[in-house]
Amino acid sequence: GGGPTIWICRHGDRYVPTWGREVARLLSDAALPKGLAQDLPLSAAGHRQAAQLGAFLEKQGVGTIVSSPYLRTLQTALPAAWATGARIRIEPALCEGPGHRAGWLPPLVERQRYLVNLDLDHVPELGDEPDGEAAEAAV
């Protein structure tokens, strides 16, 4: 019996800034979001991992997907959203990193241009994104 099952997943493998020419090419792509140097996308391996996660979560009957606003976490969640039909609910408070300040990520309406399946009507339940690495702001 019991209640719903909660699956927690970290993002797939991401590009590493030291990967030289490949990252330079990514950073020069005008179609990609501003701030990519800090908000790195998934690597090819990360996209494969995300596809595997999507197939797994589809079999589990997942109906709700919650993600931080980082590009790599949204890219990880996207195949699961496609497979399950769920919309991705963004929780900004799940986002924290060294030197990151509130508001440095692109707005959700901009993310929607290249990441469909975002639930733009979702009201975050955990509050706004933390400001930097303050321990009291962490979830």
What count of residues does the chain have?
139
DSSP characters over 111-124: HHHHS--B-TT---
DSSP-assigned beta bridge partners for residue 65 = 88
Residue type, 72: R
For 67-107, write each residue's pLDDT tens digit.
998 899 999 999 999 999 999 999 988 876 655 555 677 78
Confidence of residue 4 (pLDDT cuts 50, 70, 90): confident
- As a whole number of angstroms, the distance between CA 2 and CA 66 comes to 21
Query: Angle at CA 104, nearest 5°, toward 23 and 32?
Result: 35
Which has the higher per-residue pLDDT, 53 or 20? Answer: 53
Residue-level pLDDT at 127:
67
Q: For position 138, what pLDDT does the model report? A: 43
Q: Where are the domains of the chain?
A: 17-137
Could you tell me the fold of the domain covering 17-137?
Answer: Rossmann fold (3.40.50)
